[in-house]
Structure 1
Amino acid sequence: MQLAHYLGLLHRAQDTLADALLEVGNAHADEADIAQLCEQQAELCRARAAALKPFADRYSEEAPDEPERLHSQLFRGTRNGGLAVLRDLQDLYLMAAECDLCWTLVGQAAQGLRDRELAEVVEQGEAETAIQLLWLRGRMKQAAPQALVVAG
């Protein structure tokens, strides 16, 4: 059964996204909304990862290294300058989008297996990730004029 692969991918992607959120929040502590929301979203990612644990055990989770690879490709230390906030938020968005896609795929597997418990965890994870993506997109829109037009 290949579900184990995607459960592992999603589980690790949630933990990796939590780490990245905390890193961005700390790097941009002068932006109070970013620091606070990154911390809050990191906690939600950790809770989603914990909610996946029983299913990872049930379906024998495999732990691929793709989330860490994506994290290392996107985050190469904290950024400085006018584009820093925008680029860091964009990286978070891409990582959250990977989680979003994984939630969808695991949800399809849950339906195929008729695993109602997993489907419920997926529904909540999908909903929370959708909100996360909306926040990140909105915050990038807010930062873009300053970063792209005003900053030199």
Structure 2
Amino acid sequence: MKLAVYIGLLRAGEKALAQSFRQLAEGHGDEPDVYHLCHTLAGQSEEHERLLTPIVERYGEQPDDEPERFRADAMSESRTGALALLRDLQDVHMLACFVDTTWTVVKQGALALRDEELLGVATRCEQQTKLQHDWLSTRIKQAAPQALLVSS
């Protein structure tokens, strides 16, 4: 059973997403909505990681033996300059998309296993991750005109 691989991907992804939201907040603290909401979203991802603890105890987690095409690495620093916010939002958006689709895969596994606890965790976390993803998409749309059309 390969569920443990995806559980490991989820834990690493949620940890990286929380760190990336915090980095985004700190790097762009001059944007009040980004600062405050990113801290809230980071807390959600940390809670998701915590909710995975009993799941890991039951199913374990194992490294994937496939080569990585996309790594769930946290954003380690924020960019500066005119396009900085837009590019940083895109980076976190890609990571949120990875976590979102990974929750979808784990949820399907929970359905196949008829594991109600895992299904409950996956459903809750998938919904919150979709909201994180949607906020990032909206914020990118808001930031794009300013970043692309206003000279610095």
The normalised TM-score by structure 1 is 0.92
Counting aligned pairs with the same residue, the percent is 41
1:31-55, Cα deviation, whole Å (9 max, x unpaired): 1110111100000000001001100
Residue in 1 that maps onto 2:58: 58
Matched, 1:19 2:28: no
Could you list the runs of 5+ residues in structure 1 that have no partner in the other structure?
none
Structure-to-structure mapping, 1:1-150, within 5 angstroms: 1-63=1-63, 69-71=71-73, 75=75, 77-150=77-150
Could you list the runs of 5+ residues in structure 2 that have no partner in the other structure?
none
Task: Determine helix, strand or coil for the equivalent of 1:71.
Answer: coil
Cα distance in 1 for residues equivalent to 2:10 and 2:76: 22
Q: How many residues align?
A: 150
Task: Determine helix, strand or coil for the equivalent of 1:29.
Answer: coil
> CA RMSD of the aligned region, Å?
1.9
- Stretch deviating more after TM superposition (131-140 or 54-63): 54-63
Letter matched to residue 127 of structure 1: Q
Letter matched to residue 36 of structure 1: H
Cα distance, 1:117 vs structure 2: 0.7
**Which consecutive aligned stretches of 4+ in structure 1 deviate over 6 angstroms post-superposition?**
none
Task: Determine helix, strand or coil for the equivalent of 1:105.
Answer: helix
1:112-140, Cα deviation, whole Å (9 max, x unpaired): 11001100101101110111111001111
Cα distance, 1:70 vs structure 2: 3.7
Cα distance in 2 for residues equivalent to 1:135 and 1:147: 18
Cα distance, 1:151 vs structure 2: 2.9
Cα distance, 1:77 vs structure 2: 2.8
The normalised TM-score by structure 2 is 0.92
Cα distance, 1:71 vs structure 2: 2.1
Cα distance in 2 for residues equivalent to 1:14 and 1:70: 9
Letter matched to residue 51 of structure 2: A
Cα distance in 2 for residues equivalent to 1:98 and 1:91: 11
Contact 1:12 1:63 in 2 (8 A): no
Could you say if the C-alpha distance between residues 90 and 99 of structure 1 is closer, same or farther in structure 2, counting changes exceeding 3 Å?
same
